Amino acid sequence: MTKRYGWTKRILANFIEAQTYEKYLLNQTNFDLTLPEERRVQAKLAIKDEYSFDFAELLPEYSEHELEIQLVNNIRHS
């Protein structure tokens, strides 16, 4: 990931310590395929990790810079 996405050793270590990959795998659902649209949002909120950045609509592999841009944009639009 450091080579592919330009992550620093520190960023990679933070992702490993935070178990980001494990949390990503646990958050995989089939809600979009199985639930009616009006129930999807409720179901996703019910299992959402409180430190998840789902609102930023980032790919599972994102750079610190991409996260920063999304956070700033979200604050500006709030």
> Quick one: DSSP state of residue 29?
-
Question: What residues contact 76, with CB distance under 8 A and at least 6 apart?
Answer: none
CB 15 within 8 A of CB 21: yes
- Please give the sequence-ordered ranges of beta strands (E in DSSP) within 1-78, or none if there are none: none
Give the mean model confidence (pLDDT) for residues 29-54.
Answer: 79
* 3-state secondary structure (DSSP) of residue 40: helix
The average confidence (pLDDT) of the chain is: 80
Distance (Å, whole) CA 29 – CA 38? 16
Average pLDDT over residues 20-42: 83
What pTM did the predictor assign? 0.36
pLDDT, mean of residues 61-73 = 85
